[in-house]
Amino acid sequence: VFSLSVDAREVDAFSMWYGDIPFVFLNTKKTAERCRFDAAHELGHLVMHRHGAPQGQEAEKEANAFASAFLMPRRSVLANAPRSATLKSLISHKKYWNVSAAALNYRLHSLRLTTDWTYRTLCIDLAKLGRGHEPEPSPFETSQVLKKVFASLREDGISKADVARELLIQPEELDELTFGLMLNVLSGKSHGNISQNKRPSLKLVT
């Protein structure tokens, strides 16, 4: 799982298989809740649509349904849903599943726990808060694997500039692709043994 670079931030997220390895790229300029839903959405594509069918809006609907059920399992929602669906109760209960208030509102309605009128009313109330605004937002999740990799590189005296040079990209782009973790872990001068003259081993992903 990687972050989208700055020049691709108009994209919500996307995923792909490269051989037997799945890749997911997320737009980290969104809220933490939206990033989490996008990650689950792309997981749905990876497990359900690897062979290309269905496509278009049908595939998007299936991936959304997968993400909704994956993050908010039916039994869990039935057991913990608010007794009265209001804007206040949505904001309070969304924290249980770490999802957006809008996603919880949709899930409650899809499970027939709210009426059409309640669902539409809550959609209007949430829209009034402003597009892209999440009430009482959750903190962003971070990669535990990348932290360990960067910590190991730091112990070997390898700097962010060394890694960027090996990949033939700018250090700032490295920060973008790794959710900013590289910026926090790797700093200082290089003491590693990465060769400045060695050509990197790169493969074209098509």
Residue range 46-101, pLDDT digits in tens: 999 887 777 888 999 999 999 999 999 999 999 999 989 999 999 999 999 999 99
Q: Give the pLDDT band (50/70/90) at residue 206.
A: very low
Where do we find the tokens 């909704």? Answer: 68
Comparing CA positions, the residue from 136, 60, 153, 49 lying closest to residue 100 is 136
CA distance 102 to 13: 18
* pLDDT tens sequence across 100-142: 999 999 999 999 999 999 999 999 999 998 877 899 998 887 7
Computed over every residue of the chain, the mean pLDDT equals 84
- CB of 143 within 8 A of CB of 181? yes
For residue 22, give the H/E element and its range: strand 21-26
CA distance 112 to 129: 25
Q: Give the pLDDT band (50/70/90) at residue 190.
A: very low
Concatenating the DSSP letter of every residue in 135-189 gives SSPPPPP--HHHHHHHHHHHHTT--HHHHHHHHTS-HHHHHHHTTTHHHHH--S-
pLDDT over 90, % of the chain? 46
Predicted local confidence at residue 205, as pLDDT: 54
pTM for the model: 0.74
Predicted local confidence at residue 182, as pLDDT: 56
Predicted local confidence at residue 201, as pLDDT: 55
CA distance 109 to 33: 19
- CB of 44 within 8 A of CB of 63? yes
- CB of 116 within 8 A of CB of 106? no
Residue 204 reports pLDDT greater than 80? no
- CB of 32 within 8 A of CB of 136? no
Predicted local confidence at residue 22, as pLDDT: 94
Predicted local confidence at residue 181, as pLDDT: 64
Predicted local confidence at residue 5, as pLDDT: 65
Residue 191 reports pLDDT greater than 50? no
CB burial of residue 152 (10 Å; 0-12, 13-18, 19+)? exposed
The better pLDDT of the pair 185, 77 is held by 77
- The residue type of 110 is S
